[in-house]
Amino acid sequence: MKVTEHIKKANGKTLFSFELIPPKKGNNIQDLYNNIDPLMEFNPPFIDVTTSREEHVYIDKGDGLLDRKITRMRPGTVGICAAIKHKYDVDTVPHVLCGGFTKEETEYLLVDCHYLGIENVMALRGDAMSHQRYFEASKGGHQYATQLVDQIQNLNKGKYLHDVIEANHKANFCIGVAGYPEKHLESPSLQTDLKRLKEKVDAGADYVVTQMFFDNQKYFEFVKAAREIGITVPIIPGIKPLAVKKHLQLLPQVFKIDLPEPLITEVEKCKTNTDIRQVGVDWAIEQSKELMDANVPVLHYYSMGKSTNIKAIAEAVF
C-alpha cells in the first residue's frame, strides 16, 4: 500500500515509522532483523531503507602505487526492502539516488521494485562523494531529485527511457522527497529551497519527509511556509535522537542544523554516554509528543541501525 494511503486510512491518527541503514557488506541481514523486531509492536505501516553512495577505496598494488577503485560499502537496498516486506508484511520504501546511477540503472532498479511489489520510493539526489566539493551527477545520471521524480512519474505512465518496449502495464509508485526545515545546506535561502521543493511536488512527489530537526518551531514554520506557496502534500517530520556527545559538533557540521541551547546544556551536564543517550531520548519524546498534538501524519525516526532508543521513545509516545 502507498504511504499516502496509509496516512489517509489512519484518519488523523499519527503513525510510527522508521528508517534503516543496510548493514556493511559481508554482514548478515539477521542484525537488521534484530533491530526491527523490537519496533514491530508499534505497527509501522512502512519502513524506509537508505541507499549509500559509492566510495573510493585505494588498493595497494604492491609496487608502491595505489589503485583507485569505486565500491559500495552498504549495497542491497532493494533486496533488503523485499526481504523485510515479505518477512514482516509491512510496506518498505527504498531510497533511490541520483548520485552514482545512470538513468538506465535507475530504471532497472525501479523495474525490480515493481516486480517485488514495492509501491513506494524516496527520490533523492544524494550527497557529494567524500573527495568532491560539490555534488556531480554521474555521466548519464540526474543532477537534481526533481529529474528523478520525473523519471519515476514517466514509469507510472508506462514510459520507459528508450521507448523500445511497449509496456502493457504501468508502475504505480508513490514518491517521497526530502524537505529541509532549516534549508538544504547548498541552498542560498530557505525560500529558494522551498521553491525547489515545490518543483519536486509539482513534478509528482506525493509526500515529503524532513531532515532531522531538534526545535519543533522550525518544523511548524517550514510547514506553514510550504503551505503558503501551495505545497499541499503530507510533510512527515524526521526525528533523530541525539546519542553521543560528538553529535553536538557533527550534526550542525554535516547537516547545517541548529541545536537548541537547553539541549546542549543538558548534554554538557552528562557524565556518561548512557546519560547522553537518555537526554537524547527524553528530548525526542518531548518533540514527538508536541508534534503528535499538532496532528502530524507520521513520526518518522532515523534509527541509524540501533533500535533501543527508538523503542524507548515509541513506548512513551505511541
- Rounded Cα distance between 243 and 279, Å, is 8
127 binds ligand FAD (CB under 6 A): yes
187 binds ligand FAD (CB under 6 A): yes
Q: What's CA 101's distance to the chain center, in Å?
A: 17
Residue 2: closest CA among 117, 88, 158: 117
- Rounded Cα distance between 242 and 100, Å, is 30
- Rounded Cα distance between 309 and 315, Å, is 10
Least CB distance to ligand FAD at residue 165 (A): 28
Site mask for ligand FAD (CB under 6 A), range 53-92, x = bound: x---------------------------------------
Residue 76: closest CA among 127, 13, 32: 32
Closer to ligand FAD at the Cβ: 267 or 287? 287
238 binds ligand FAD (CB under 6 A): yes
Rule CB under 6 A: choose which of 182, 193, 206, 266 binds ligand FAD. 193
Residue 205: closest CA among 122, 89, 290, 302: 122
> What Å distances lie between residue 83 and 49, 176, 238, 250, CA to CA?
11, 21, 24, 32
Helical (H) or strand (E) element with 201: helix 190-203
Site mask for ligand FAD (CB under 6 A), range 155-184, x = bound: -----------------------x-----x
Closer to ligand FAD at the Cβ: 95 or 247? 95
In contact, 152 and 118? CB cutoff 8 Å: no
Tell me the β-bridge partners of 207.
176
126 binds ligand FAD (CB under 6 A): yes
Binders in 128-157 for ligand FAD, by CB under 6 A: 144-146
Rule CB under 6 A: choose which of 17, 211, 287, 309 binds ligand FAD. 211
120 binds ligand FAD (CB under 6 A): no
Number of residues in contact with ligand FAD under rule CB under 6 A: 23
- Rounded Cα distance between 114 and 309, Å, is 33
Least CB distance to ligand FAD at residue 65 (A): 30
Binding site for ligand FAD (CB under 6 A): 50-51, 53, 95, 97, 122, 124-127, 144-146, 178, 184, 186-187, 193, 196, 200, 209, 211, 238
